[in-house]
Structure 1
């Protein structure tokens, strides 16, 4: 299982993306109001986790439930 963990600088916020489940649909990229996510080589990456406003839209939008968020 390839779970990639992204932590905010203060480590109060953690986003995990299960790369085995991620199919690169890009729904997290499309719904995130602060552009936290990028698709890199067909997988979602939380490249700007410090910009997250903890709205949980990414978790709800992911069709394969590949995203876990410490706030959701």
Structure 2
């Protein structure tokens, strides 16, 4: 079982909180936005969705 990350770059303000909180380094900063670069590592813990105040991230079971 894996997880599907949906990321809306238009909603991202580049705060980097998702990068800082992810326990498995799914997220990296790409310029002034975060970017899911290791989606296959996602644990589905929802830490990133919890800190994203702009609802730019959604995680669903794949």
Uncovered stretches (5+) of structure 2, i.e. residues with no partner:
none
Uncovered stretches (5+) of structure 1, i.e. residues with no partner:
1-9
Q: Which has the higher contact order (CA 8 A, sep 6+)?
A: 2
Q: TM-score, normalised by structure 1?
A: 0.77
Does 2:49 match 1:59? yes
CA RMSD of aligned residues (A): 1.4
After TM superposition, the runs of 4+ consecutive aligned structure 1 residues lying more than 2 A away are none
SS at match of 1:68: strand
Q: TM-score, normalised by structure 2?
A: 0.88
Aligned residues: 61
